Structure 1
Amino acid sequence: MTVPAPPARRRPTAVGRVLPLLLLVALLAPMALLFVQTWRSTSDDRELADRERLGVEYLRALAPVTHALADAQSAAVAARPVNSAALTRAVEAAASVDARIGDELRTEERWAGLRAKIEALSARGPADPEAAFTAYGEAADLLLALHNKVRETSGLVRDPRPDSFFLQHAARGLSEGVVAAGRLADLAVLADRRPAADRNRTTAEIAALRVAVLTPAGDLVTDLRAAVDNSESADLGPSVLTPLDTYQRAIEALAAHSASTGRDIAVSEIVGARVDAQSAARQLQPVLLDELDALLVERLDELSLDRWLAVAAGVLAILLWAALGAMWLAAARRSTRETEHEHDGAVGPEDTPWQPAAIGGAEPRELQPTGAGRGPGSTQWGPADAAH
């Protein structure tokens, strides 16, 4: 009886061995690419937010300089003693900030020129009110240029969020409004002293400064309204409402009082409106910068959370890939062992086929016909050495 041989196991081909590994690599590659892109994106956003916070810090240091310079200009134009101590303190505080972060914001050169100009004015200011108006105006122009430089190099002008973008733009309009309001009030004081021959020139200058005051004030209201509408902060609206209303009323009064011409200009009312506007700006400006900084801090927290989520997803992907790789490696090793076992147990052509042994241990003898039969043509088989 023939026993059928078991079917031979089909050995995996080279493609079958490599294909799972290629699939694992193909699974890991897009995950790694996604992780790298997410990490780079969050890193860029964090770097921008950090630089914007430096810009906010610098603008916060320039705010007292702006107000002190406007006060000094008004005093010099009105022939009153200039409060040099307040201006000096503001300049020194801003200088310490510039020494710390000015190199990163690339403001050192502009700040050095502005500081030299202010110190020259404080040391020996112009005796002529007209010359003082011009000299302080040049310093104020340098100061506003420094404001714009800080906003540009810090990235505030490129802020991607609507609420923070409009807040930084509102801070710019507020600084420009303070400078313009001071110039308008000081020009009104000068107009009262100018000769009648300069009446037309004075009227044109006052009209231009009136526009310079109203334009940033209108932009400020628009920017703050847009910031409140696009912000999720519940504190932004109430915190800016009161000082904004005070500032807006003072600016409107300043523009209304300056609408008269010549010697009919209400100088005292203009000066009073300018003082009210600057007082409201002193309250409003830190609120704007504080809210802007709070939004940037909140954004940094969100980016940190996104980064940790990306790291967790990357670790999970690596663990999954390692588990799949271990399973593939174990399957490959098991297949190799089974193949080697089949090779060791295979029957070669030199092996002797199995035969049953005789009963009692004796070798079986060959049977041959005995020649004796019971009938004609019959043959009887028996041992070869049996007697005939």
Structure 2
Amino acid sequence: MTVPASRVRRRPRTPGRLLPLLLATALLLPVAFLVVQGYRLVDTDRELAERERLGVEYLRALGPVTEALVDAQTAAVAGRPVPRDALDRAVEEAAAVDARVGGELRSTERWAGLRAKLEGLPSRSLTDPETAFTAYGEVTDLLLALHGKIRETSGLIRDPGSDSYFLQDGVGEEMPEATVAAGRLVDLAVLAQRRPAADQARTVGELATLRFAALQPAGDLVNDLQTVVDTSESADIGADVLTPFDKYQRAVEALGALSQPRGRTQELDVAKLAAARTQAQTAARELQPVLLDEIDRLLRQRIDQLDRDALLILAAGGVAGLLLVALGASGWLTRRRGDRPTGRDTPAVEPADATGPAPWDPPTPPGRLPTGPVLQPAGRGTEPDRWRPFDAAR
């Protein structure tokens, strides 16, 4: 008779249950690393775009300073009263911008030196126009260097966008250089009329150098804007830039034609040249804010796109993390349910007690010999016991 044994409870397989959690954790680590790295890259690009916007703000403040300084130089060389009001007002506005963003753009020290030079310029015209020309030339060189400093520290000079790069190159480098060089060209033409005949050859060479210095950046600016208008996918660029751009292009062409010496004396028509320079400067004054507004608009669009990219990265990382956590939890629960005993488990059979009744064997079918040991009837001995008396009588 079989006696069913009590069911033995299986031991919980702890390593098997921990395996899904370990795998989920191992996958979470690289996912978290990729999310953090992607977010950092996007955040770095966003900081660069924000710094470029600070550079645009600074260049916007330097535009009036450049124009007022060139006008002051022209008045000083011509012997007229220097318009200090416009220059002082422009300097104060630029100083306010530098106080706000100069620390981040690392321009405070250079601006302090330039401002000291600007404030040191005489309010009255100097008795010697040549000295005035040289003094103002040193200050304008410092101003152009500050333009380059702002473009470098703000990152505008390394802007990755095609449209914004050409625009910042034109408005941050070519335009101020062309404005300063055109003013110097007209002022040198005025000085050439007062120089002695012995200095005529030197004057012609200087005029040729300044003519090249004024027309080359102006031509580069025209090429930059033409490239943007032709290749840009934004319809706003063409509509907003074309009108002041055409006006500036015509003024530069007129300046180039009038600055070409004619006749044997190589003299220039100073009045017409000054009028052309005024037209070019007026067109530049109208064009500069348009270009800066366009750069700022492109940078704001880039910042908005980077913000969306950052949200997508965080959302994708969060979804991936939730899926991995759910995968690990489902694996853990599945393992725990598998550890419980079920009704299909085979019961253990304990051996019968030696003192109890012998287990019952089924009868042997007819015609088949028993396979187990043969039991002798009670009271009868074995075969050798029956033949033992007969063997003794013999």
Q: Which TM-score bucket, shorter chain as reference?
A: 0.7 to 0.9
Q: Partners of 1:188 and 1:170 in 2: how far apart?
A: 26
**In the alignment, which residue of structure 1 is the partner of 2:243?**
242
2:190–2:270 Cα contact (<8 Å) kept: yes
Which amino acid in structure 2 is aligned with residue 256 of structure 1? Answer: A
CA change 1:251–1:37 in 2 (3 A) is same
1:102-117 equivalences under 5 Å are 102-117=102-117
Given the alignment of the two structures, is residue 143 of structure 1 paired with residue 143 of structure 2, yes or no?
yes
CA change 1:351–1:297 in 2 (3 A) is farther
Given the alignment of the two structures, is residue 160 of structure 1 paired with residue 160 of structure 2, yes or no?
yes
Q: Partners of 2:48 and 2:90 in 1: how far apart?
A: 28
1:213–1:251 Cα contact (<8 Å) kept: no
Q: 2:280 aligns with which of 269, 277, 280?
A: 277
Q: Partners of 1:354 and 1:177 in 2: how far apart?
A: 120
Given the alignment of the two structures, is residue 71 of structure 1 paired with residue 71 of structure 2, yes or no?
yes
Given the alignment of the two structures, is residue 318 of structure 1 paired with residue 321 of structure 2, yes or no?
yes
CA change 1:351–1:179 in 2 (3 A) is farther
CA change 1:347–1:221 in 2 (3 A) is farther
Given the alignment of the two structures, is residue 184 of structure 1 paired with residue 166 of structure 2, yes or no?
no
CA change 1:209–1:353 in 2 (3 A) is farther
CA change 1:4–1:299 in 2 (3 A) is same
Given the alignment of the two structures, is residue 86 of structure 1 paired with residue 86 of structure 2, yes or no?
yes
Q: Partners of 1:60 and 1:228 in 2: how far apart?
A: 22
1:173–1:219 Cα contact (<8 Å) kept: yes
Q: Partners of 1:274 and 1:301 in 2: how far apart?
A: 40
CA change 1:350–1:3 in 2 (3 A) is closer
2:16–2:335 Cα contact (<8 Å) kept: no
Given the alignment of the two structures, is residue 35 of structure 1 paired with residue 35 of structure 2, yes or no?
yes
2:80–2:125 Cα contact (<8 Å) kept: no
Q: Measure how far apart 1:130 and its partner are.
A: 1.0
Higher relative contact order (CA 8 A, sep 6+): 2
Q: Partners of 1:64 and 1:170 in 2: how far apart?
A: 16
Q: Measure how far apart 1:353 and its partner are.
A: 12
Q: Number of residue pairs matched? A: 357
Given the alignment of the two structures, is residue 265 of structure 1 paired with residue 250 of structure 2, yes or no?
no
Q: Partners of 1:97 and 1:125 in 2: how far apart?
A: 29
CA change 1:199–1:222 in 2 (3 A) is same
1:19-57, Cα deviation, whole Å (9 max, x unpaired): 433432343233222211210110110010010000000
Q: Partners of 2:29 and 2:237 in 1: how far apart?
A: 45
Q: Partners of 2:159 and 2:151 in 1: how far apart?
A: 10
Greater Cα shift, 197-206 or 239-248: 239-248
TM-score (norm 1): 0.84
Given the alignment of the two structures, is residue 305 of structure 1 paired with residue 308 of structure 2, yes or no?
yes
Q: Measure how far apart 1:292 and its partner are.
A: 0.3
Q: Measure how far apart 1:259 and its partner are.
A: 1.3
Given the alignment of the two structures, is residue 293 of structure 1 paired with residue 301 of structure 2, yes or no?
no
**In the alignment, which residue of structure 1 is the partner of 2:225?**
224
- In angstroms, what is the RMSD of aligned CA positions? 3.2
| Local SS of the residue matching 1:264 | coil
1:188–1:258 Cα contact (<8 Å) kept: no
1:192–1:263 Cα contact (<8 Å) kept: no
Q: Which runs of 5+ in 2 are unaligned?
A: 358-376, 380-394
Q: Measure how far apart 1:290 and its partner are.
A: 0.5
Q: Measure how far apart 1:16 and its partner are.
A: 4.0
1:79-124, Cα deviation, whole Å (9 max, x unpaired): 1111100000000000000011111101011101111111111445
**In the alignment, which residue of structure 1 is the partner of 2:330?**
327
Give the fraction of aligned pairs with identical amino acids, expressed as a percent. Answer: 61
| Local SS of the residue matching 1:190 | helix
Q: Measure how far apart 1:352 and its partner are.
A: 10
**In the alignment, which residue of structure 2 is the partner of 1:98?**
98
Q: Measure how far apart 1:14 and its partner are.
A: 6.3
**In the alignment, which residue of structure 2 is the partner of 1:195?**
196
Q: Partners of 1:327 and 1:243 in 2: how far apart?
A: 67
**In the alignment, which residue of structure 2 is the partner of 1:359?**
none
TM-score (norm 2): 0.82
CA change 1:342–1:205 in 2 (3 A) is same
**In the alignment, which residue of structure 2 is the partner of 1:377?**
none
1:171-201, Cα deviation, whole Å (9 max, x unpaired): 1211111111111111111112211111111
